[in-house]
Amino acid sequence: MTISVGENMPSGTFGVMADAGPSSISTNDLFSDKRVVLVSVPGAFTPTCSMSHLPGYIDQISSLTKKNVDTVACMAVNDVFVMDAWGKDSGVGNNIIMLADGNGEYARALGLEMDATSFGMGIRSQRFAIIVDDGVISHLAIEAPGQLDVSKAEAILEAL
């Protein structure tokens, strides 16, 4: 069942790259006492994700922080090494946390996984953006298949 506005974000852990190598961050550390925009993409280095979705958030990071967003995080069902490489390639710097949901467990906990086996990609996350206020979902924007409209940075800025 898909999560909805007003619900708490499920507990979980993401892979992240730290200076010393692969590490992790808990949802408690990510969401507690913060306003977070969690963006999810079907895959790192994929065309729409790399050319439009993530770059939109990179371009709008200062506008997002002006709207009291403490953290912008980008999640994909990829491993921590891929997410780190994609973040470096995209130039996210310290502005966006790149979250690896390597086995798709968090996408599944949200009820937002999708079957991309017909594209050779296995089970992935749907494209979405969630505004999370102190662990509670205040806005949920799930894209229709093949679309980038409601979860893009400009739409989330309007929702803030």
What span, in angstroms and rounded, lies between the C-alpha atoms of 122 and 152?
24
Exactly one of 49, 75, 131, 137 is catalytic; name it.
49
What span, in angstroms and rounded, lies between the C-alpha atoms of 17 and 9?
22
CATH number of 13-159: 3.40.30.10
29-68 pLDDT, tens digit per residue, is 999 999 999 999 998 888 777 678 999 999 999 999 999 9
Q: What pLDDT is recorded for position 6?
A: 97
49 has catalytic annotation:
yes
pTM, two decimals, is 0.94
Domain ranges of the chain: 13-159
